[in-house]
Amino acid sequence: MGDIIKLSALALGEKIGRGEIKIAEVLDAVYKSEEENRRLNCFITLCRERAYEKGAEIQRRLDAGEYISPLAGVPIGIKDNIAVDGVKMTCGSRILEDYVPPVSATAVKKLEDAGLIVVGKLNMDEFAMGSTGETSYFGAVLNPLDETRVPGGSSSGAAAAVAAGIIPLALGSDTGGSVRQPAAFCGVFGFKPTYGAVSRNGLVAYASSFDQIGVTAAAAADCAALENIISGCDGGDATSEEIKPSRADGEEFSLRGKKIGVPEEFISSCGKDIREAVAAALKKAEALGAEVEYFSLPPLEFSVPAYYIIACAQASSNLARYDGVRFGRRAENAADPTEMYIKSRSEGFGREVRRRIMLGNFVLGAGYYDAYYNRALKARRVIRDAVLNAFEKYDFLACPVYPSAAPRLGESLKDPLKTYLGDAYTVTANLAGLPAISIPCKNMCALQLMAAPFDDGSLLSAAGALGEAVK
């Protein structure tokens, strides 16, 4: 029974479509595996009854001969900052521990219309603020590859659940690497689509100009298949756009004739093991017919400060609504409204969220707006222009996902600045709105590929070809 959910999502969907496996059997296997792996703390909320009801409905349609989609009947986990109607959505925070959204996110509606079965809400760093999976109010997530090390964040539950074989697919969010980095630490694929390719309607905002719903899966073809389902223009998100579908069958996955640029700034600053793993992966790319060239991209040195100034500023605005009145848990025994606001937010938010709100308020304050926020916006434009210019010469940019192997549990919490600097390789894709994917290599190392905006299909094709070669 456990072998069922170790299939790729597309392979599982094919077996379900042929009638070789019943959806109820698949759900039985998922929940049995979750129970066996509960120590990993991948899920915050399970929705068994809802899943079996939806599964029975899809099974009836399939039994009647209806074709729904290649992923019909496949179980999926949803990061707990993406709304599923009638299921608690906590964002990993005490302040939202009892919040139940009345409607689903657009991406969730689309995947359920395509027959996928939501099995539960996945654990995450609080409000997607964290890179280790340790800041959730509901406890840290463990890495199934090495339980003494962090699984990465903020989509920690998504990566851990897929890596542990509990589910074949997960939906996460990526603001500065939150899908790609945990995927790297857990040895699976983490895909961030182009900004605007997937509607953010129903995704709880952290930094609205960076946030993007993404996919965690065991194979690049599964990422492509799910993006084809959830992407497209949506009236609920003015930034969303149509995108050309990706080939998901794997037959056309290729790197032949492609040119890969590797920014030297990224390679020189990472650890020896990471450099060697990336070099080995790039050698495989060359063997597959790609041309690899190292080049300099100086504006990248501004990526981390620009990202954190803008992200924290936007977070301080987006999280202002959680005050115990409009949204969120209300503190008790407050003498007046002002004290109630203060206590509700102080008690409801964890340390990392409070730190980023304070930083955001600081850079937006009188006397600091021009000195920090406006300069960060200018730096973002310089970085975006430099990266887009690079795509006039290269088909893809390649770099590590993280400068080292996964840190040990507790290490990162002692040195938040070091943790922030670790995002240097992933935030560029968010600053420039690029599609990017984490391709697992070995020993919790991964290669990241980035492509020009809306060239998601070519990126997934390259990742599929290279992913097979570096297994």
In tens, the pLDDT along 410-426 reads 998 888 899 999 999 99
Q: Does residue 171 lie within any of the structural domains?
A: yes
pLDDT of residue 251: 61
pLDDT of 230 > 90? The answer is yes
Where in the sequence is the domain holding 173, given as residue range(s)?
Answer: 4-230
pLDDT of 106 > 80? The answer is yes
Q: What is the mean pLDDT of the chain?
A: 95
pLDDT tens, position by position, 281-305: 999 999 999 999 999 999 999 999 9
pLDDT of residue 4: 74
Q: Does residue 38 lie within any of the structural domains?
A: yes
pLDDT of 206 > 60? The answer is yes
Q: Does residue 47 lie within any of the structural domains?
A: yes
Q: Does residue 361 lie within any of the structural domains?
A: no
Q: Is 79 a catalytic residue?
A: yes
pLDDT tens, position by position, 40-96: 999 999 999 999 999 999 999 999 999 999 999 999 999 999 999 999 999 999 999
User: HEC states along the chain?
Assistant: CCCHHHCCHHHHHHHHHHCCCCHHHHHHHHHHHHHHCHHHCCEEEECHHHHHHHHHHHHHHHHCCCCCCCCCCCEEEEECCECCCCCCCCCCCHHHCCCCCCCCCHHHHHHHHCCCEEEEEECCCHHHCCCCCCCCCCCCCCCCCCCCECCCCCCHHHHHHHHCCCCCEEEEEECCCCCHHHHHHHCCEEEECCCCCECCCCECCCCCCCCEEEEEECCHHHHHHHHHHHECCECCECCCCCCCCCCCCCCCCCCCCCEEEEEHHHHHCCCHHHHHHHHHHHHHHHHCCCEEEEECCHHHHHHHHHHHHHHHHHHHHHHHHECCCCECCCCCCCCCHHHHHHHHHHHHCCHHHHHHHHHHHHHCCCCCHHHHHHHHHHHHHHHHHHHHHHCCCCCEEEEECCCCCCCECCHHHHCHHHHHHHHHHCHHHHHHCCCEEEEECCCCCEEEEEECCCCHHHHHHHHHHHHHHCC
Q: Is 178 a catalytic residue?
A: yes
pLDDT of residue 253: 86
Catalytic residue among 104, 131, 154, 240: 154
Q: Does residue 21 lie within any of the structural domains?
A: yes
pLDDT of residue 311: 98
Catalytic residue among 79, 109, 110, 192: 79
pLDDT of 250 > 60? The answer is no
Catalytic residue among 33, 104, 173, 178: 178
pLDDT of 1 > 50? The answer is no
pLDDT of residue 2: 54
CATH number for the domain that contains residue 134? 3.90.1300.10
Q: Does residue 224 lie within any of the structural domains?
A: yes
Q: Does residue 469 lie within any of the structural domains?
A: no
pLDDT of residue 248: 63
pLDDT of residue 249: 60
Q: Does residue 93 lie within any of the structural domains?
A: yes
Number of domains the chain is built from: 1
Q: What confidence category does residue 366 fall into, taking pLDDT thresholds of 50, 70 and 90?
A: confident
Q: Is 404 a catalytic residue?
A: no
pLDDT of residue 99: 96
The pTM is what? 0.96
